[in-house]
Structure 1
Amino acid sequence: MLRSIWKTLLILGLALLLGGCTPAPPPDIVSRPTPRQIQYVGEINGRLGSARLSAPVAITFDQSNNLYIVDQGNNRIVKIGPDYQFISENGGFGLGLNGLSRPSDIASDGGINFFILDQGNNRIIRSDYDLVFADEIRFNSNADLQALGKIAAIGYARTGRMYLVDPDNLKVIVLDRDHKIEQELFPAGGFSRCGAITVTNDGDVFVYDRADNTLHKFDTFGNSGDRIVLDGAEAISGCAIRDHEIVAADRVRNEIVMFDWSGERVATFGILGSGPQNLNAPTGLAWRADGKLFVCDTGNNRIMIYELAAK
């Protein structure tokens, strides 16, 4: 009888104890970036038109997937088709409208007009898609722009705004359609060493600051937004953004890097050299509509072509 009572009490005690326990919460699920792989597809090099490609530094596409190359070593712009065949060129060293001196960047309004940063002549040249140089913005003869320093990079939004990165004065100048200063962009705390710039199809502007390896985002109205610290970067010389993925060329590390929106690396490609798996001081890069990535391998005088795939 006594044993039965003790057994009953023990069962009741265990039931009360277990009933009062709160189940442990499920573990947090940490979202990780999808691993990606940058795969070599091919390259563009050798003779294009009147000369061999020499130190290409910037590229862009038109709506027909024609590629426009800033061939800095030859002071010219080269246009090639989607089949990688040469179409036309314009430039050559000079001071006149059809001359260039150390061209260093190119931007487009969506495929109709192209804007070439002619750094040595301290101006921007507007070209059409046939590479006919139409007119120019001369900084020295424009009252609004005389105080600018040496412009390092340019971007263009479909709103008609042009963005000039002025590292000497640590700011980005926004020009309206009439090439008048509309605004100046600064992140909170200011820039320290601003350089590369990219403008998305939505009109968001991203500016790289080498001092802290950070991409600063500005919306279409010029409001400062996200600040993305790029993990392990040293000297980003060009970047492109698509579907919240950031692809950048690092000219010091001689590599192409893909970052997620938090700045974490999800893919890398390249090491110093001249073979298919190598890069030498890469600079500008651009996405083609079919998802292929084109990169200026400046030190190797070629354009590299890649595809991105899940690992």
Structure 2
Amino acid sequence: MSENGNIYVTDAGNSRIQKLGPDGNFITSWAAYGYFHWNFNKPLAATVSKSGYVYMADTAHHILKATIDGEIVTEWGRYGSGDLDYFGYLEMTVDENENIYVSASHDHRVQKLNSDGEILKEWGSEGSEDGNFFLPEGITVAKDGNIYVSDSGNNRIQVFNSDGTFIKKMGSYGTGPGEFDWPEGITTDTFGNIYVADAGNHGGEGTFRMSGTETLSAADLDSWLDSLQEGISGRVIVVYDACHSGSFLPSYLRQTKNGSSSPAHPLTSPPIS
């Protein structure tokens, strides 16, 4: 979500990014299918920086930086095992200094990059020890600058400072409060609450967990919980996969200072062509 409330949705099946207004109305889309220079193939992650750039990652292991109008500025990444090569899915978040944090699932690592794609820090390897990962997915920067990572395969959340120093871990496998079955999307709000899309729980429908205590079943929202992103305005948005009818179903979760939340009416975009 951008500072003016616009929402950027990764439309993987059509290899494009859709831009929606704050009310969910369609504005425009960018489509540049391909595996090579300045194209993207099935984008799966997107995040918007406070300076107005959109960062996108796709299944071809590219990371692209674009203006909010869709003009590509630069790109990096490819399939492989080098420093800027990736294997598996990528998730991203951006801090206030325009540093990008990339969670690379099958590389079992997190990278901190500057806005030109140069590596500043890198940490993690496959494992269950503190600071290591097994198929990490969601990643977010909290208000205090700490980095929260959904360590999906280890069913926990790990917290690091901005230089990758391990601070703490939360959660374990299970269905109770503070327990997870494949946590994916994650975000924090301005009040310090933590939100996790707990994909494997609740009969495979996904569960929205807040601070490890309050839960909201995806069944209550009629969809599969996938990724989470906090809006600049302080709202939390749950972004779903496109439904079979061809409409996106993003839904707002209104937050209050005490951390309570309630689902709003789903928003829709034009049918997928």
DSSP-derived class of the 1:121 partner? coil
Which of 134, 144, 150 is residue 120 of structure 2 equivalent to? 134
Structure 2: tracts of 5 or more residues without a match: 1-21, 255-260
Matches within 5 A, 1:200-211: 200-210=189-199, 211=201
The residue aligned with 2:137 is 152
Would the aligned equivalents of 1:92 and 1:99 in 2 still touch at CA under 8 Å? yes
The residue aligned with 1:259 is 252
Check 1:67–1:184 CA distance in 2 against 1; reply closer, same or farther (3 A cut): same
The residue aligned with 2:10 is none
How far 1:207 sits from its partner (Å)? 0.4
DSSP-derived class of the 1:159 partner? coil
Which of 85, 105, 112 is residue 119 of structure 1 equivalent to? 105
Give the Cα–Cα distance (whole angstroms) in 1 for the partners of residues 178 and 216 of structure 2. Answer: 15
Structure 1: tracts of 5 or more residues without a match: 1-35, 219-223, 271-275, 280-311
DSSP-derived class of the 2:179 partner? coil
Higher helix share: 1
Matches within 5 A, 1:1-311: 37-46=23-32, 50-73=37-60, 75-140=61-126, 144-146=130-132, 148-186=133-171, 188=177, 190-210=179-199, 211-212=201-202, 213-218=206-211, 224=212, 226-230=214-218, 231-242=220-231, 243=233, 245-251=235-241, 253=243, 255-261=248-254, 262-269=261-268, 276-278=270-272
Check 1:149–1:268 CA distance in 2 against 1; reply closer, same or farther (3 A cut): same
DSSP-derived class of the 1:168 partner? helix
Q: Which moved more, 1:114-123 or 1:237-246?
A: 237-246
The residue aligned with 1:298 is none
Deviations 1:125-180 (A, max 9, x none): 2110122233321324996334x322122122242322121233322111234533
Would the aligned equivalents of 1:233 and 1:250 in 2 still touch at CA under 8 Å? no
Give the Cα–Cα distance (whole angstroms) in 1 for the partners of residues 207 and 127 of structure 2. Answer: 34
Give the Cα–Cα distance (whole angstroms) in 2 for the partners of residues 100 and 241 of structure 1. Answer: 26
The TM-score, its normalising length taken from structure 1, stands at: 0.65
Deviations 1:259-305 (A, max 9, x none): 344443412325xxxxx4228xxxxxxxxxxxxxxxxxxxxxxxxxx
Give the Cα–Cα distance (whole angstroms) in 2 for the partners of residues 79 and 189 of structure 1. Answer: 35
Aligned partner letter, 1:259: Y
How far 1:191 sits from its partner (Å)? 2.0
Give the Cα–Cα distance (whole angstroms) in 1 for the partners of residues 162 and 70 of structure 2. Answer: 33
Q: How many residues align?
A: 232
Kindly report the root-mean-square deviation, in angstroms, between the aligned alpha carbons of the 2 structures. Answer: 2.9
Give the Cα–Cα distance (whole angstroms) in 1 for the partners of residues 262 and 151 of structure 2. Answer: 24
Would the aligned equivalents of 1:40 and 1:277 in 2 still touch at CA under 8 Å? no
How far 1:121 sits from its partner (Å)? 2.0
Deviations 1:35-58 (A, max 9, x none): x95211110111698142211111
Q: Which moved more, 1:160-169 or 1:120-129?
A: 160-169
DSSP-derived class of the 1:268 partner? coil
Give the Cα–Cα distance (whole angstroms) in 2 for the partners of residues 277 and 185 of structure 1. Answer: 39
How far 1:96 sits from its partner (Å)? 1.5
Would the aligned equivalents of 1:257 and 1:265 in 2 still touch at CA under 8 Å? no
